Amino acid sequence: MQRQVIAYRRENGTVGVRNYVLLIPVDDISNAVVEAVEKIVNGTLAIPHPYGRLQFGEDLELFFKTMIGTGKNPNVAAAIVVGIEPNWTHRIADEISKTGKPVEGFWVEGNGQIKTIEKVARTAVKFVEDATNLKREPVDINELTISLKCGESDTTSGLGSNKVVGRFTERFLQIGGTVLFGETTELTGAEHIVASKFKDKNEKEKFLKIFQEYQDLVKSKGVDLLGSQPTQGNIAGGLSTIEEKALGNIQKIGDAMIDGALDFAEPAPGKGLYFMNTSSAAAEAVTLFASAGAVIHLFPTGQGNPIGNPIVPVVKITANPKTVQSMKEHIDVDVSALLRGDINLDQAAETLWNRVVETANGRLVKAEILRHNEFVLTKLYRSA
């Protein structure tokens, strides 16, 4: 297995595989500014979203954690934060600046949109100039944080692509890497298996508390998740119950033991394997993983899913030969030979490992090429 990759060492010691100058709107009414600057200044990336106004309590805190964490992600070289007013703008910009990367904040109140666009654009030109002068350097692949989430699962997922990711995870953890997984509701029926893998009793209890709170939320609404969990696509793919889906889902961590449980957007405190509370919605989960510091995401899929992320390359893996053909512009790693018996699990995992190395070195994945920049915030409840 190749361990050396060429990546970006950030000021705080973290390692990224991309080098974005990120334009971060604090609120929905600042989207126009960052979108305008993205069009003007080559090399910038805007992440518009619909929130940031009149949120409160835990919902507001999660919003800040996600926006700050996204700016802190090692794939970001520099960030410009734009809000309607200075207070929340400073709150996000000041926290991102603690990484040591270049950060500036601007606001529309008292300046107007056109003047703000001018200020942001002038700063962005400098940030892009400096970011494009940064050099990749050799690092051990174990310095990367990799996240896991599957989507559009079918019977080939648990039998094939998820198991390949599981073997990759085992190998990556053996050399000292860091892996995040989640999808809280999609563990239903297999939560006891996940709980049994925790190294520490307190972390196990934390996981079970997080899991139960999600279950209680669903029950409190008096709804049946069938059709949402499993999804209509899952059912069409042969997964008739959430338990079937969960047993396939947990194949992504293989036989690895779990070091800890994290809440939404919470960074891992050290190396190892960590469960992180997330929605099972693809774009929401990947956004949360990115805000927690993941720099590459592995996305096994049965029937195919085009999901991407603005700052994290999302590597698509499938073992379904039909999907390889019908969704070929979305698939990065074809492991369908595993189910035909032409290769074994270790060989399939080696293929994935090589693609992760290539991705870390700068090779674009299909979601990046097709501009799938889904940045979707997790919202806990209604705004005021």
pLDDT of 185? 87
> Are 310 and 182 part of one and the same domain?
yes
pLDDT tens-place string over residues 220-266: 877 666 555 666 667 666 666 777 778 888 999 999 999 999 999 99
Final residue of a domain: which of 84, 106, 131?
Answer: 131
Q: What is the average pLDDT across 66-87?
A: 98
pLDDT tens-place string over residues 322-358: 999 999 999 999 999 999 999 999 999 999 999 999 9
Judged by average pLDDT, the poorest of 4-18, 41-55, 150-164 is 150-164
pLDDT of 1? 84
Q: What is the average pLDDT across 298-322?
A: 95
Q: What is the average pLDDT across 201-226?
A: 85
Report which of 120, 105, 137 is spatially closest to residue 19, judged by C-alpha positions: 137
Residue 208 located in a structural domain: yes
> Are 193 and 275 part of one and the same domain?
yes
Domain count across the chain: 2
With a pLDDT cut of 70, the percent of the chain lying above it is: 96
Evaluate if residue 289 carries a pLDDT over 90: yes
> Are 345 and 240 part of one and the same domain?
yes
> What's the CATH number where 100 sits?
3.40.1400.10
pLDDT tens-place string over residues 123-141: 999 999 999 999 999 999 9
pTM, rounded to two decimals: 0.94
pLDDT of 237? 61
pLDDT tens-place string over residues 152-199: 888 888 889 999 999 999 999 999 999 999 999 888 889 999 999 999
Q: Which domain holds residue 211?
A: 140-369
Residue 275 located in a structural domain: yes
**What Å distances lie between residue 178 and 136, 152, 298, CA to CA?**
21, 25, 13
* 258-271 b/e (C-beta count within 10 Å ≥ 16 → b): bbbbbebbbbbeeb
With a pLDDT cut of 90, the percent of the chain lying above it is: 83
**What Å distances lie between residue 205 and 89, 251, 260, CA to CA?**
36, 22, 10
Evaluate if residue 304 carries a pLDDT over 70: yes
Residue 261 located in a structural domain: yes
> Are 75 and 194 part of one and the same domain?
no
> Are 246 and 362 part of one and the same domain?
yes
Say how far apart CA 142 and CA 353 lie, in whole Å.
12
Say how far apart CA 198 and CA 260 lie, in whole Å.
7
> Are 151 and 298 part of one and the same domain?
yes
> Are 231 and 365 part of one and the same domain?
yes
- DSSP string across 281-328: SHHHHHHHHHHTT-SEEEEEBSS------SSS-EEEEE--HHHHHHTG
> Are 102 and 162 part of one and the same domain?
no
pLDDT of 384? 84
Mean pLDDT, the chain, whole residue set: 94
